[in-house]
Structure 1
């Protein structure tokens, strides 16, 4: 059929088909659905296990003005499906044994065995929630010839329940029977009900409401009182009808220890038979139609869904309970381990014989990223400027709109520099500050962190150990006047103090906090600066510079203590003299003694002092061992080995090189890239590329070292061309290399 045209002859616009709108981030949608599903399972499990909405308490009886006399004086079975309510009594010498509160996986099978052994049937008034938990028992009851009735789903007192609650209790129980045994029933017994003489006005309302739903109410006129006594003979005496009259006997197959009930039942049945009693079900005793009929297909399907959901919920909650138990055990074990290791760490650090190494007095660079820190920035900068350790402070104003940069500039403090940039985020601000830092130790401090005067000095001391690449500060909450501040203080004490002492002892520091932490500048350059891949930039940076990272040679973890004082006669640091105490010809030393493969050249096997260095690799992994720690080295026999982090370098004037490429004493240059420092007198400065010819040792000679003003041939890796600037942290095109340095905790 062709589409109708408009009067002007143009065809009508084509209808746009409707499309299903799919969320751009379906992960959130799936997560919400999963959480809702989990919540439904937990609520269902709580209902089934009587942990939610429980009102299982019997209310005191009221008046019975609205209860007909025929009911009060009638039989125990009440048919409220029609008006007036009719009551029924079993004929003489006819007993219907009824069992409440089941099924129970321990006692119900034993009751069924007794009934089967004596060839009789009973009526089981089951709780719907227990049927969903033990569907196999419901099927066993039906297969044995006994009949099933409902005893509500969660066992509440229906006299005080609303009509809606009563309807939900009975319909849920019917679904449980349909799913578990594939049947339905019209028999119902209200919880806490006894004989018809105790029926009050509220109980009569329950009978009529249940009758409107198609249920016949089954009370009892003989109570065995097995719920109150633990003597089998007493139960038998209470359960025996008087004067051979017919009766509905109340027993229990769940709700406690029913061992005496099972024993009493095994005695009661033979005695009743001896007196000529017929023991049968309620419907058969009263001549009613069979109580259990096959359930409709729709009811069976819904019942199966309910049973399956309860099974899944029960399994899930059980697994979560075991997981919670395991978590509790692990938390206790972790707490004990933390206490032991933290005390060990504390004692070691307070040991008078312990030391990081020579005192570190060289200046540090402090980088403070700030965005709209008007309230705190002045106090933060003043605290840094008042430090007892020499430092330059670089405040990076990351596009603040509240005048943060102007406040810092107005302070006019010496050694404080303000760098402004458009708002790019904290990682970019940190990288900008690191690029402007002039010293080889960089301290990262948040814009709301106020440091103590000794903080920078204490952070710098661990860098006396060449293996330390980062130091974690100890941050604490200053404002503890409010509850949230106190809670956060507890979190910081546990996370930054106790936990990090343990991590330092084990050599597995996970995070150097962004609030206060120090790094070697070389380590930051090797990893390419601070990453913005995730929101946890401090953790990412710590992992990048930590030991065992990709591309890093394996080095010692430090075990949280740093180097000890060297033994007498042992070399301190990496030897640059070419002596036998610093160079191993091959690999392998353990236990403080050198093996035959690890003896230094020309030493005769006696001068290699590894002490606590577990393994010493020279040729394969470029490691040497001096005193109590392992450092990098070269295994070739030329010159004096020294490790500058990037390559295997050669020292030109002094005996000890650090990973930054310059010597501790004498400020001699290592003669290989990156070496951008020289010496004037006794202090170290950066190389000056403006002087020609160069006059500083190790600077600007392009592969040569110098003494005084003459350049001699250097025996190290190739240096960059003369006057070539050192690569910037932010502009370097070199592939980032991961550091093999150790993270320590101060």
Structure 2
């Protein structure tokens, strides 16, 4: 997981770096303070012309034309940002035998960092490192606009310094005519110095290329990022509106629809792999159910190595059967349990989940409607004490459960969680049982049942308490498996998009937009806010982000109240958006890449500590 975090941070850092460098390169520095530089004496018979500024697309080319016509050599102190904008002029300078130095990265800038950036620009453009570096001086042509007056003020026995301006070509002609016995040459030659230019090293060329790309394309990147942020904002607000509207509608319809008494005998299937820490509490909670009809429990131990089967057998509880098999995967364990079950009402539950006394009765009651093929229960976080647990508690309430309310109103719930779900045997048999095609067998099964024409509903009163991961590594592994399996299921059931059912028209599209596109694009919003607030001098970006966070926090508070939860954990929601949310982004991105490559994953189990029993006992 560490490598993926490094990759994400590196990618976001490079993006932020490109935007920051573009903003720096294209902004104007403070008003330059140009020093007065006394020209060094030149060797007899020579003259040294030094030009500062540019390369300018109009005046530098004219200066080069004039020097070529007069067979003169000169030295150019270029500006790094202009080198990136007009690299062809610098290449011409070097090709025609002129000497190149740097005066900074932006006009009038004299910082060491600016000089280093300018050196990198030369390295990328002409593979040159120069030993010539000096700030832009105050020259006569900055104050006069008559070439004759400028030429008259110059001392040919010393280095002549000018800027690349509209008057410079005329000054060159006047000096050449006035000094026919002088050889116009480079600064180092005229002053008797050693060679100033050498080959640039590889690192400077690479850095120079990155700087040049950022400067030339940063505006495009910023525009694309802005469009992405607008899309993310629209999707996020749309999801919030749907959550607030449809979730309320789902609860209202749940209250208004008359629920017929329905208490069939139930078979509870518990697939278990290394669940010794929680399995005893899970099985006891099922056996202690207040359901008026028969409840049998079938625990299928899928090759556990921690004595899971022995723990259940030692309980010696009535109505509990334990079946052991080699490690074939969760789908095989579920199918084995279903095959052994005596009743037609099936409840599938994970081995780390604890039921409340009325959970079984409430989760199977909607099966009294003959059109209902499956029922999702309400999964609650048992170990919500620490910060990570509190964040997951908020995610379950304001994310998964609220999504389920929306999709219940749209009649296209795509996932009945493995922690608690009731199924009609006929519906399970019609779709061929639990398929091995995906890692998210619960999502795959739910989608298949919906596509077969059965209704899938949500029963928020059927609560089940599950132990969530207590470490970032465990959480990442779990969410990676969930996300990967969801992508597999979406791909498997893509034909639903061409069907008349609600799964294709609403369910898959909802998952695609809010569980794939939104998480993949959302980090761009964070980068854009940082860029706007701290680089682009747009503090309003933080205000907009804060307002956006306030809306999301209010939505989370509504979700907590809708789920009958206290609002006390809501203080952790802003922190969740700053830190925890980045982990979910990374999970989605990695899962998507893995799914596209077709890399298989195995059924995994997290390290358990029995905290589900503590929360409800």
Shorter chain as normaliser: what TM range?
Answer: 0.5 to 0.7
Q: Does 1:482 align with 2:349?
A: no
Residue in structure 2 matching 1:451, options 334, 347, 355: 355
Within 5 Å, give how 1:409-428 maps onto structure 2.
409-428=313-332
Q: Tell me, yes or no, if structure 1 residue 177 matches structure 2 residue 125.
A: yes
2: CA distance, partners of 1:445 / 1:119: 85
Distance in structure 2 (CA, Å) of the matches to 1:521 and 1:75: 96
- Structure 1 stretch displaced more, 402-411 or 313-322: 313-322
Q: Is 1:125 paired with 2:125? A: no
Aligned to 1:718: none
8 Å contact from structure 2 (residues 140, 153) kept in 1: no
Distance verdict in 2 for CA 1:532–1:48, change over 3 Å: same
Counterpart in the other structure of 2:446: 542
Matched, 1:514 2:466: no
Indicate conservation of the 8 Å contact 1:96/1:281, yes or no: no
**SS of structure 1 residue aligned to 2:229:** helix
2:252 is paired with a residue whose SS is: coil
State whether residues 148 and 185 of structure 1, in contact with CA within 8 Å, keep that contact through their aligned partners in structure 2.
no
Separation in 1, partners of 2:333, 2:144: 85
Note closer, same or farther for the CA distance 1:557–1:528 as it changes in structure 2 (3 Å cut): closer
Q: Quick one: structure 1 residues 39 and 506, their matched pair in 2 at CA, closer, same or farther if it must change by over 3 Å?
A: same
Q: Are the aligned partners of 2:304 and 2:327 in contact in 1 as well (CA < 8 Å)?
A: yes
The equivalent of 2:250 in structure 1 is 349
Q: Distance in 2 between matches of 1:543 and 1:189?
A: 68
* The one of 275, 283, 290 aligned to 1:381: 283
The change in CA–CA distance for 1:273 and 1:171 in structure 2 (over 3 A counts) is: closer
SS across alignment from 1:492: helix
Q: Which range moves more in the overlay, 240-249 or 385-394?
A: 240-249
Structure 1 residue 364: Cα displacement = 2.9
Partner of 2:416: helix, strand, or coil?
Answer: coil
Equivalent in the alignment of 2:403: 499
Mapped to 1, the partners of 2:428 and 2:414 lie a distance apart of 16
Structure 2 residue matching 1:429: 3-state secondary structure: helix
1:362 corresponds to 2:264: yes
CA distance in 2, matches of 1:396, 1:346: 36
The partner residue of 1:333 within 227, 234, 239 is 234
User: Cα gap change, 1:267/1:241 in structure 2, threshold over 3 Å: closer, same or farther?
Assistant: closer
Name the CA shift for 1:140/1:429 in 2 (closer, same or farther; >3 Å): same
- Please give the alpha-carbon distance, in whole angstroms, between the structure 2 residues aligned to 1:143 and 1:48: 33
- Structure 2 residue 300 is matched with structure 1 residue 396: yes
The question of whether the paired residues in 2 share the 8 Å contact of 1:42 and 1:317 is answered with: no
Unpaired stretches in structure 1, ≥5 consecutive residues: 1-30, 59-72, 78-86, 195-219, 225-231, 254-264, 562-614, 617-746
SS at match of 1:109: coil
Superposed CA deviations along residues 647-696 of structure 1, whole A, max 9, x for unmatched, are xxxxxxxxxxxxxxxxxxxxxxxxxxxxxxxxxxxxxxxxxxxxxxxxxx
| C-alpha distance in structure 2 between counterparts of 1:311 and 1:244, whole Å | 36
Distance in 2, Cα, partners of 1:44 & 1:147: 35
C-alpha deviation, 1:365, in angstroms: 2.3
The separation in 2 between residues aligned to 1:452 and 1:95, in whole angstroms, is: 90
Post-superposition Cα deviations, 1:393-412, rounded to whole Å, max 9, x if no partner, equal 22222233433333323434
- Specify the alignment match of 1:579 in structure 2: none
Secondary structure of the residue aligned to 1:176 is: helix
Specify whether residues 222 and 321 from structure 1 end up closer, same or farther in structure 2 by C-alpha distance, changes over 3 A only: closer
Change in 2 beyond 3 A, CA 1:383/1:109: same
Which residue of 1 is the match for residue 434 of structure 2?
530
Residues 303 and 529 of structure 1: CA distance in aligned 2, closer, same or farther (over 3 Å): same
1:186-585 matches, cutoff 5 A = 188-190=132-134, 193=135, 220=137, 222=139, 244-245=154-155, 248-249=160-161, 265-266=165-166, 283=185, 288=190, 324-351=225-252, 354-355=256-257, 357-390=259-292, 391-547=295-451, 552=452, 555=453
Residue of structure 2 equivalent to 1:704 = none
**Deviation, structure 1 residue 536:** 2.5
- Asked whether the equivalents of residues 378 and 408 of structure 1 are also in contact (C-alpha less than 8 Å), the reply is yes
The yes-or-no answer on 1:109 pairing with 2:57 is: yes
2:546 aligned residue: none
Maintained 8 Å contact 1:128/1:177: no
The structure-2 alpha-carbon separation of the partners of 1:272 and 1:379, relative to structure 1 and needing over 3 Å to count, comes to same
Tell me the secondary structure at the aligned position of residue 512 of structure 1.
coil
Shift of 1:325: 4.2
Distance 1:271 1:312, change over 3 A: closer
Offset at residue 417 of structure 1 (A): 2.8
Q: 1:344-392, CA deviations, whole angstroms, 9 ceiling, x for partnerless residues?
A: 2332233376327534322332211122322212222222233343533
Q: From the superposition, tell whether residues 148 and 482 of structure 1 become closer, same or farther in structure 2 (CA, over 3 Å).
A: same
CA distance in structure 1 between the partners assigned to 2:82 and 2:376 by the alignment: 56
Count of residue correspondences: 433
Structure 2: how far apart are the matches of 1:401 and 1:427?
19
Q: Which has the larger Rg? A: 1
Contact 1:365 1:438 in 2 (8 A): yes
Instruction: Give the distance between the partners of 1:472 and 1:512, measured in 2 at CA.
Output: 5
Give the TM-score taking structure 2 as reference length.
0.53
CA distance in 1, matches of 2:299, 2:442: 18
CA deviations 1:59-97 (Å, max 9, x no partner) are xxxxxxxxxxxxxx99556xxxxxxxxx65999998643
Q: Give me the TM-score of the superposition, normalised by structure 1.
A: 0.45
Alpha carbons of structure 1 residues 174 and 430: separation in structure 2 relative to 1, 3 Å: same
C-alpha contact 1:472 1:512 (8 A) present in aligned 2? yes
* Structure with the higher fraction of residues in helix conformation: 2
Give yes or no for contact 2:270–2:334 (8 Å, CA) kept in 1.
yes
Using the TM superposition, give the Cα deviation of residue 98 of structure 1 relative to its aligned residue in structure 2, in angstroms. Answer: 0.8
Cα displacement (A) at 1:283 = 4.0
Q: 1:323 to 1:440 in 2, by over 3 A?
A: farther
Q: Does 1:138 align with 2:90?
A: yes
**Residues 500/448 of structure 1: CA separation in 2 closer, same or farther (3 Å cut):** same
RMSD: 6.0
Q: Cα 1:534–1:109, aligned 2, differ >3 Å: closer, same or farther?
A: same
Counterparts of 1:278 and 1:389 in 2: how far apart (Å)? 111
Shift of 1:145: 10
Cα deviations across residues 213-257 of structure 1 (Å, max 9, x unaligned)? xxxxxxx46499xxxxxxx86999xx9799654665475x9xxxx
Between 347-356 and 329-338, the greater mean CA deviation after superposition: 347-356
Distance 1:420 1:343, change over 3 A: same
- Contact kept in structure 2, 1:50 and 1:154, CA below 8 Å: no
